[in-house]
Amino acid sequence: MSCTTVEGFTLRPAVIADFDSVLSLVIAQNMAGYGEPMVSADTLRELWQSPNLDLGLDNWVAVAPDGQVAGYAELQHYSPTQLGLSIYLAREHQRKDIGVHLLQLAETRAARCSVDESVVVLISRVSELDQTGKQVVEEAGYNLGLSFLMMERILAEPLEPVQWAPGITVRAFMPGQDEQATYLADEEAAEDKGYHSALTFEEWAKRMSLDGADFDPTLWFLACRGEEIAGVALNFYSRATGAGWIDHLGVRRRWRNRGIGKGLLLHSFGEFHRRGIDRAKLSVDSKSLTNAPRLYERAGMHTVQQYHVYRKEIITS
């Protein structure tokens, strides 16, 4: 195991014995930055066991002189050319130098991850409230791409009824039948998102966690005209936050301005509420080209947090 030291702190690859300490650290930073945990023991364990992260190669801990985990960094493999970078620092160890060294370990690893591409892109999400985290990535040359609003609605009676345009019906996703059509509709609807990069079906399926523990096809809703999918609301229940998340909401261009987006949103609210879920959440580009935040505000949602997405190209070796 390769280790480095920073003024008494030991930086080394993560091992399974670090799990509980890392979970506590991640949840504490989530609470500080987002007001609620964004992971649970189950979701972190699933990540550590998934192909998206190679334990001991894609994550590291910084251990304080007293043996406590003071920092943690991880890489997630979104695609052969895109990796997600996350850095966490304990509240009592908000030291930029530790964050910088963790980032450097991640960048060194990223440069060795792809043998077929000359460049990989590191993408890092940082809460607006995480001042140390923003300094670490900005001073390392990461470019601020987009800022996202985290919006929420408390689901209490009465909920508005959905008014569908003539000929539009809504149904749940059917596994084994709807994968390709839903992929194509979701990708087309996403073309007007300024941050969207076209995905292959395999990349989309991985991004949407079709094999993940949180995937629930009965929370994926398709607005259809006959056999054609006009729009989608691809949702999930977060065990970590206890909220219903609207992960992807999109309407294909030729079907816009007919109330389909709002209909899918309200339909999702209704299903969450029926299941006893009392909060609906989503994140949206603050400068959405389709003015999505305005739609969500009209549906009763309000902004509770904000985060930023930074990007940096790494030359592979």
Scanning the structure block, which residue is given the tokens 């792809």? 114
Provide φ and ψ at 243, rounded to 5°: -120, 155
Model pLDDT, residue 267: 97
**Under 8 Å between Cβ of 305 and 33:** yes
151-307 and 4-141 share a CATH fold: yes
pLDDT digits (tens, 9 = 90+) for 275-309: 999 999 999 988 776 778 889 999 999 999 999 99
Q: Which residue has the tokens 């007001």?
A: 35
Domains of the chain, residue spans:
4-141, 151-307
Structure confidence at residue 1 (pLDDT) = 63
SS3 string of 54-97? CCCCCEEEEECCCCCEEEEEEEEEEECCEEEEEEEECHHHCCHH
Mean pLDDT of 52-70: 96
Q: What is the pLDDT of residue 222?
A: 98
CATH class of the domain at 4-141: alpha beta
The fold adopted by the segment(s) 151-307 is Aminopeptidase (3.40.630)
Per residue in 189-245, pLDDT (tens digit) is 988 775 667 889 998 998 898 988 789 999 999 999 999 999 999 999 998 889 999
In the numeric block, which tokens belong to residue 71?
């920092």
3-state class percentages of the chain: helix first, strand second, coil last, to nearest 5: 30, 30, 35
Q: Is the dihedral of CA 67, 33, 277, 52 positive or negative?
A: negative
- Beta partners for residue 248, in sequence order: 234
Residue with the two structure tokens 């941050």: 195
The total of other beta-carbon atoms located within 10 Å of residue 39's CB is: 19
Sign of the CA dihedral with 50 first, then 54, 59, and 63 last: positive
pTM of the model: 0.83
